[in-house]
Structures are given as structure tokens and as C-alpha cells.
Structure 1
Amino acid sequence: PGIPTTAVHEAYPGHHWHLVMSKANPSRLRQVYRTPYFSEGWALYAERMMREQGFFTDLAHEMNQYEATIFRAARIVVDTSLHMGEMTWDEAVTFMTTKTGLTEPTAKAEVTRYCAWPTQASSYLTGCLEIVRIREAFFAKRGSSDTDALRAFHDGITSSGGLPIALAERAVLATAY
């Protein structure tokens, strides 16, 4: 059941589509530079948006996307708690196995990754929620949330590159007319 979610995240309209759109930006820097909060946020946003648009027609596929979002939320708790000294490595592994259903070896690998790359695991859901917030601001400024507005938002935000979220917001809101 995870293949549709993974395909949306990694390929279309996730990472691959974002990279293709970024290459259209005239700024060489925007073509190659990206932040995890934008790039991973966009890919998780793509999962959410495709669910909202009815792409996941099989209930098992839709549930997998929800489970993937829960996994990303658990990452925020663990990533933050580990680096604040509020959770030990063993507690983090237990949290990931009980809250997300990961196997113990997978949870250990995940927690080790969070220790090596602080904030990257948090970037998925945090970035996604920021992109949703920007989308709502875009719709409000444009005065519409129809299919054309949604396409304009997606084209505008992805073609801006992989900017820090605040700069991506500024870039896409400048196109909301």
C-alpha cells in the first residue's frame, strides 16, 4: 500500500517534479540550492495534496499516506526531544516503535540518523504545514481556491526553487493576482 505514497513523494508531483520546475528558474542559485524544509516539505505536501484531490482511491493507500504523516509527526517529537536532552536514545527508539510501528532495527537506524542530522527529520512535516499555510495565504490574496489558483500556486512555489520557507512565501505571494 505504500507504493502510491512513495511515488507521489519521490516522483510526481514530489521531488522529481520540484527539481524539474526549479531548473526553469533563471537564477542558477535557485536551480541548485534547496533547503530541507522546502524540499521535504514540498514532497510531503504533494502527498497531502494528492490525497485531498482524491488520488488515493484505495482505502489502504489513503491510510498509508496518513500513517506516513504520523511517522513524520513522531520524527518531530523525537528529533526535538533528543536534541533538547529530554529523551534518551533508547527512549527515542521505544517511542518510534510504539508510536509508528517501526521495527526495532529500523527505529534504531532512524534515531541514529536524527542524532547525526539535527532538524532534518523535522523538516518534512514542518515544511509541509508551512506550505499549506502559504497556500491559504495565496488563495486569500488571489481571491480564489479553484483549480486554476491551485495550479498557479504549485507552479509559482516550485519554480521559485528550494528557498527557505519565508523567501518562498514572498516569491509565490508576489505572483498571486
Structure 2
Amino acid sequence: MNRRVVLLVPLALFIGLGIFLFKGLSINPFERESALMARDFPSFTLSTLSDPEAQIDESVLLGDVTLVNVWGEWCPTCKQEMPQLLSLADQGVRLIGVDYKDQRDKGLSFLRQFGNPFEFNLFDPEGSLGFDLGVYGAPETFLVDAEGVIRYHHTGYITPEDVTEVILPEVEKWR
């Protein structure tokens, strides 16, 4: 009897581990909630992409609903989502970019090639603001209300459907 129990323990552990791993396959990492939801946007002081001498802090987020888009020249999906960001800007949505873990000249070249929907771009070459936001890749977009509080977090590429079905309704909700 004891021998059977000893043989069944590894089998039970194997089956339990298999169920745990199988469940993990169904989890979509793009649907995770931001730990910063309903919290103030993190404090920062960064230069702009276009002017290394200009220092910008989180106070620029006060007074208007703003989409903060984390992007990089090295990011292929950032290129794909640029038409949607340009469309949002054309519809009167305020956008601020964060050029994340990039080189200044490459970021500027990216904007010349794909368009620039942003009021301005923060330059975050070390990823310090991205770290404070919990960014694990680009693109990621944060909706910040007029008081500087994060109200929505979109991980990954913004599709045309996301613009009409999610982003614009969220912007209107917080205006």
C-alpha cells in the first residue's frame, strides 16, 4: 500500500503542474490592469526629444485629458499604430509621446518618416519614466485625466477599432 502512495505522489504533482501550466496559456498579458490605475501620474523631469535643454515635468499633464503614448523607433508596432495616433490628434485628442529607450536622432527620424501626432515628446533614453509607469514594452498608452490621474492603460498596438470602441469613449468619459 505504501509503495502505491509513493508512486502516486509524483503522478499527482505532474498532473497538477500540467493543469497550472495549461491555465497559464489562456492568460493574455495585454489584458493586465496597470498597478497605477487611479493613481497620480509618476513624478518626472525629462528633456523633450526636440530640445535637450527643455526640461518638462508632470505638471504638463494638468488641465486637460491627455493620452501619454510610450513608443520607440526600434518598435515595429509603434510604426503600425502611428496612423491611429495621427487620427486621434486630428480629432482633438491631446497626445504626449515618451520616446522610450531610444536614441535622439533615431526618434526624430522616426517622427519625420511616420508623422508626429504629439504636442511634444519626452525623451526617456534610460527608461526611467517607463520603469515608474511599469512599462514592459512599447507601445503602451496611458489616459491621464485633467488632475493628472491615470484612468486607463492600453498595452500594445492601438488598432483602428480600439480608437472608436475604446480610446475615444474613454477620453470623452474623463473630459
Indicate the structure with greater strand content. 2
Rg comparison, structure with higher value: 2
Structure 2 length normalisation: TM-score? 0.25
The structure with higher relative contact order (CA 8 Å, sep 6+) is 1
Structure 1 length normalisation: TM-score? 0.25
Indicate the structure with greater helix content. 1
